[in-house]
Structure 1
Amino acid sequence: MEDKLLLKTNEGFTLIELLFTLLLLSLFLSLPIFYFQSQDKTIQKQTIEQFKHDLVYAQHVAMTEGKVATVRFEDNTLILFVDQKEKRRVVYPTNVEIEPVTIKLEDVSFLGNGHPRKSGSWDVRTEHFHVRFTVQIGKGHIVYRQQ
């Protein structure tokens, strides 16, 4: 009689219980993958917006100091020069590729009154975004549009 009771207590799990457990485990393990992908897109979008803000900052520095402000970009770093002296250096957290369309980024500079020395466009690419920046002649508005 004791042998029959002992056998009934050691039955184990059914196939349905094991499959349900594996399903839950795989769902919990896949959630971080989706989270990190969406976070990566957010970081890249913020990087593009920061890039625009840095260009506007260069324009404002030129106006407030009344000197020529020039922008350089190398190795995911934007460098702002005022009167050929380095004023600010911004390192971007994601890989950014810049391709000239009608103007090189090295040719982007703002005169002491805030007007651009040259107008034109260039493409900025990240893993998830392709954006075209344009510096407009006149007041030097800086706009970007998703491609």
Structure 2
Amino acid sequence: MLKDKAAYSQAGYTLTELLITLSIFSMLVLLPMIYLPTSMNTYKTKEIADQFKEDILLAQHLAMSHGEIVTIKFFGPQKEYRIFGSKVYLVRPFADENMVFSSHSLPGIQIQFLENGNPRYSGTMHLDIQKEKYAYTILLGKGRVHYRKL
């Protein structure tokens, strides 16, 4: 009889202890899954904003290297923008379906670079991606494109 009691006391954990441990472990595993999508959206919008700035600089470099006026024109219904001069150099679909370009102080909803790389007009335009808003400032002179998150 004494041997049986000793065997039961060293058998292991109770069902309650196992359930508490498993519930704590499952909460620790699920917490990153809850917070990860919000940080991924922020990262995605920043990458889209960076890519658009690089495309503006690409248009400027194409204008200087080909010696022609290069335009970035936005097509809202098709959800794309195009970089073209004498031919179409780049057609980029919007990376997010909720992207909206709007002119703040630029005349029209396009950006043009002259043969020497200077922009035809200076000003600011806005890019809305989901709940984030970015302002792109195009200054007169070569290589001066700034953007910031509003």
Range class of TM-score, shorter chain:
0.7 to 0.9
The structure 1 segments of at least 4 consecutive aligned residues displaced by more than 6 Å after TM superposition are none
Q: Please, which runs of 5 or more residues in structure 2 have no aligned partner?
A: none
After TM superposition, the structure 1 stretch with the greater mean CA deviation from structure 2, 30-39 or 52-61, is: 30-39
Percent of aligned pairs with the same amino acid? 26
Cα pair distance change 1:97/1:104, threshold 3 Å = farther
CA contact (8 A) 1:44 1:128 kept: no
- Give 1:60 deviation, angstroms: 0.5
Q: Which amino acid aligns with 2:37?
A: F
Please say if residues 58 and 80 of structure 1, whose CA atoms lie closer than 8 Å, have aligned partners that are also in contact: yes
Which of 113, 121, 129 is equivalent to 2:124? 121
Aligned to 2:89: 87
Count of paired positions: 140
Q: For 1:132, which of 111, 131, 135 is the aligned residue?
A: 135
- In 2, the alpha carbon distance for the partners of 1:105 and 1:49 equals 22
Alignment pair present for 1:70 and 2:71: yes
Q: How big is the shift at 1:28? A: 1.1
In the TM superposition, 1:8-27 aligns within 5 A as 13-14=15-16, 16-27=17-28
CA RMSD of aligned residues (A): 2.5
- Structure 1 residues not aligned, in runs of 5+: none
TM-score by length of structure 2 reads: 0.79
